[in-house]
A and B are shown apart, each in its own frame.
Chain A
Amino acid sequence: MNNQSKYISGFAAIVFGAAVLLPLVSLVFGSLFVEGGLMITNFTEIFQQRTVLLSILNSVIISILASFVSVAIGCCFALLFTKTDLPFRKVLFFLLLLPLLLPPYIVTVAWTDVWLFLGISKNLVYGLPAVVFILSTIYVPLAAFIISGSLKNISASIEEAGLMMTDYKTLFFKIILPLLRPALFSSFILVFILSVSEFAVPAYLSVNVFTTEIFTQFTAFYDYSSAISYALILTAICLLLILPENHYLSKAPFVSFGKKSFRQLTVSLKNKNFWLIIGFAYIVFVVFLPITMLVSQWLIGDSISFVDIVELLFPALKDSLLLSVVGSLLVTLLGFAFALMSVKYKTKAIDSILLFVFAIPAIVTGIALVKFYNSPMLNFVYGTSLIILIAFVARFLFVSQKIIAGGLMQVPDSFREAAIIMGAPPFYTFRKITFPLLADALFTSFFIILIFCVAELTTVIMVYPPGTSFLPVRIFTLMANAPQSTVSGMCLVALLSTLSLITIMMGGRKLLINQQWKRTQ
């Protein structure tokens, strides 16, 4: 490893440490130790308040149910789409993953459209089961994705060796399932953490959970000390849950590049058509039905035309896109530096730190950033878009680093060494060999983080400076007073912009990578 990459990594570590870690750490230690006495009374008070207790209970129930459902269904789809010879399984799997890229608040509005259209009672729509249902539809793909990755890592030779001795059913329960256990467990915990931290879905459905309680205390009652003690409890829950699986989760490959390292065994399905219909029906039901309903609800509503909505949202749309592009570039650059650190220097602590930061609920990150930067000296951050960029880094650096580290592992040291022996200087080697081979991963990171940034509501709603308008925040604030059809229309605009981003990026990626390879030779 040469000096340049040492400087890059060192610089990135300092930026991340100062801008993100410091606020988070100072939230925890600042309130635990400096105002120690006060906090302890606060904690005891919390458990005497019925509404707060109820909100915690709601959060836990919702998260447990959503995790169970997501992992169970996700596991079935992972098996169906990776272990069988189902026709169209690649396309179906891609469609299944689509909801991961859709902002949760849009999914929520779409489903309420469906339910209100079907005439389901408002008590049921605006209630706990609805939150569980929506969270499950969002996180089934995540669980399926993680479990499928783990399935792909089971080499055919293991299964074949097993099949010499026993039938497939025994093999499945004795070999495959045990090998899947870490993935099942990890996806359960990940979905739990994401559900317990989710803000937009319960907030829109007016279900009182822990995150909405924190939000109310913080923004409506300005009761910072209560908000912070709630936030710490929530953080503690998440971090404690992640601790046992830290090792597995921080190393789990999120996106793998290049050729698969193992040969795979697929099961031949007997009634392919039946399973094809099941898979297809699920996707239609979960992905296309709500979106169609979004369109029709907006069309049915007598109010507002598409042009009007676009006009209403245009400034926010523009700002969102710009900030997200800058944010995603920044996150990807830092992700690259941190990937270098973890892959080339093998600093294990990096993966764990990033995982912990990622596991901290968005609402808590928001509070930490506001508390830390809301001071006269740091106003150049708090009063500007800089704080939104910092929020993006805090939220998404983990994901970017994972994607890029995965790519970096595909570039063996021998490539770089071969170039150096042939006389190439380090930077030239980076430019001609490492970088082009990494382009796929860098682009994927940029693309996925961009989509995440555009959809991010929770932290941005906490930190956004006056004068900036961010699309999800704008829609969320307008939602309260707008008729349902206008809300649907707004979500449709947001959805269309997300979808066109996805399309542009996927097309751009193919082009870029072909070009890149030709040019570097």
Chain B
Amino acid sequence: MEKNPIIEFENCTKSFGELVVLDNISFSVKGNSLISVLGKSGSGKTTLIRLLAGLDKLDNGTIHINGEKATEGNRILVPARKRNTGFIFQDLALFPHFTVFHNIAFGLKVNKENNYKAIVEGVLRQFDIIGSRDKYPNQLSGGQQQLVALARTWVLKPKILLMDEPMANLDVKLKKQIRLKVRELMKQRNVTVFYITHDHREALELSDKILLLNNGKVEFYGESGDILKSDSTYVKEFIEI
């Protein structure tokens, strides 16, 4: 267990009907790290970060965030909007009827930030998408859409950033660009990032830690370099060594 963890899963179980997706898992994360979540499709990666965001309830167990009990069993103690997390959905969930500007301004306006115009302009520059300010999401390229989704959560200054395979259909070069952006941002602001991917090479290159899910259990959790030394056959197979 980490000292003063920012996130702590304790004996967490989650099932959908008969299907047990997460089976009594425990792990903890210290602040300011980038964790790649790996696992086959259907292994519960999305479920894990949805639980963390407060979008789903547990069957059993507790989730602590910042030392505070956030979810206990089927009760959400800290609601999603109070968790100070950012969530980038697999489909990005950009509002199709809002321009880029208004997509990014949405959260600021909801949180009564009067100075939102200047803040949005700032982040548009920072992310190099100022040219798309008044475009609608469907007028953007895949990479630009990713950046907008990232900027939309970024303006809200999350302490935890959850990304669900956000780059699944980007080309290698763009991927690299955005990956660098995420790392740069993260170090700037002391953010903890959960990054779901199915590409273990990407995980090895990018992350501080790797969490590998298999069959409802945590198959591996540790420094990303150490995964190469693991002697579990499943891990070896998964990362093809």
Q: Which residues of B contact A428 (CB under 8 A)?
A: 110
Q: A417-B55, A437-B97, A520-B97 are in contact. Are A422 and B91 (CB under 8 A)?
A: no
Tell me whether A417 and B107 are in contact (CB under 8 A): no
Q: Which residues of B contact A432 (CB under 8 A)?
A: 106
Q: Which residues of A contact B209 (CB under 8 A)?
A: none
B129-155 interface (Cβ within 8 A of A): 152-153
Q: Chain B 171-212 against A: per-residue CB contact (8 Å), 1 yes, 0 no?
A: 000000000000000000000000000000000000000000
Judge whether B156 is part of the interface by a CB distance below 8 angstroms.
Answer: yes
Q: A419-B106, A421-B53, A423-B111 are in contact. Are A436 and B89 (CB under 8 A)?
A: no
Judge whether B102 is part of the interface by a CB distance below 8 angstroms.
Answer: yes
Tell me whether B87 and A424 are in contact (CB under 8 A): no
Sorted nearest first, the 6 A-B pairs with minimum C-beta distance are A422-B107, A414-B93, A521-B102, A418-B93, A414-B89, A423-B81
Q: Which residues of A contact B97 (CB under 8 A)?
A: 436-437, 516-517, 520-521
Number of A-B contacts (CB under 8 A): 61
Tell me whether A414 and B102 are in contact (CB under 8 A): no
Q: Chain B 83-99 against A: per-residue CB contact (8 Å), 1 yes, 0 no?
A: 10111011101011111
Q: Which residues of A contact B102 (CB under 8 A)?
A: 521
What CA separation (Å) do A415 and B94 show in the bound complex? Answer: 7
A479-521 interface (Cβ within 8 A of B): 516-517, 520-521
Secondary structure call for the A interface: helix
Judge whether A412 is part of the interface by a CB distance below 8 angstroms.
Answer: yes
Tell me whether A424 and B110 are in contact (CB under 8 A): yes
Closest to B88 in A: A418
Judge whether A420 is part of the interface by a CB distance below 8 angstroms.
Answer: yes
Minimum distance in angstroms from B71 CB to a CB of chain A: 15
Judge whether A92 is part of the interface by a CB distance below 8 angstroms.
Answer: no
Contact-size category for B: 20 to 34
Closest to B156 in A: A422
Contact-size category for A: 20 to 34
Tell me whether B93 and A415 are in contact (CB under 8 A): yes
CB<8 Å pairs between A and B, sample of 8: A417-B80, A419-B110, A420-B80, A421-B81, A423-B156, A424-B81, A428-B110, A432-B106
Tell me whether A414 and B91 are in contact (CB under 8 A): yes
User: Which of the residues A418, A420, A423, A424 comes within 8 Å of B89, measured between beta carbons?
Assistant: A418
User: Which of the residues B87, B96, B99 comes within 8 Å of A418, measured between beta carbons?
Assistant: B87
Judge whether A175 is part of the interface by a CB distance below 8 angstroms.
Answer: no
Closest to B102 in A: A521
Judge whether A433 is part of the interface by a CB distance below 8 angstroms.
Answer: yes
Tell me whether A417 and B89 are in contact (CB under 8 A): yes
A374-396 interface (Cβ within 8 A of B): none
Q: Chain A 403-439 against B: per-residue CB contact (8 Å), 1 yes, 0 no?
A: 0000000001011011111111000100011001100
Q: Which of A420, A423, A520 has the most CB of B within 10 A?
A: A423
Q: Chain B 160-171 against A: per-residue CB contact (8 Å), 1 yes, 0 no?
A: 000000000000
Minimum distance in angstroms from B80 CB to a CB of chain A: 5
Q: Which residues of A contact B93 (CB under 8 A)?
A: 412, 414-415, 417-418
Closest to B98 in A: A521
Minimum distance in angstroms from A294 CB to a CB of chain B: 42
What CA separation (Å) do A436 and B136 show in the bound complex? Answer: 15
Q: Which residues of B contact A415 (CB under 8 A)?
A: 93, 95
Q: Which residues of B contact A433 (CB under 8 A)?
A: 95
Q: Which residues of A contact B99 (CB under 8 A)?
A: 521
Closest to A518 in B: B97
Q: Which residues of A contact B87 (CB under 8 A)?
A: 417-418, 421
Minimum distance in angstroms from A248 CB to a CB of chain B: 25
What CA separation (Å) do A437 and B94 show in the bound complex? Answer: 12
Q: Which residues of A contact B107 (CB under 8 A)?
A: 422-424
User: Which of the residues A412, A424, A436, A517 comes within 8 Å of B106, measured between beta carbons?
Assistant: A424
B70-84 interface (Cβ within 8 A of A): 80-81, 83
Tell me whether B81 and A420 are in contact (CB under 8 A): yes
Closest to B86 in A: A421
Q: Which of B81, B85, B99, B102 has the most CB of A within 10 A?
A: B81
What CA separation (Å) do A428 and B109 show in the bound complex? Answer: 11
Closest to A428 in B: B110
Q: Which residues of B contact A516 (CB under 8 A)?
A: 97
Q: A414-B89, A417-B93 are in contact. Are A422 and B98 (CB under 8 A)?
A: no
Q: Which of B87, B96, B111 has the most CB of A within 10 A?
A: B96
What CA separation (Å) do A423 and B157 show in the bound complex? Answer: 12
Q: Which residues of A contact B55 (CB under 8 A)?
A: 417, 421
Minimum distance in angstroms from B196 CB to a CB of chain A: 14
Tell me whether A437 and B81 are in contact (CB under 8 A): no
What CA separation (Å) do A421 and B162 show in the bound complex? Answer: 11
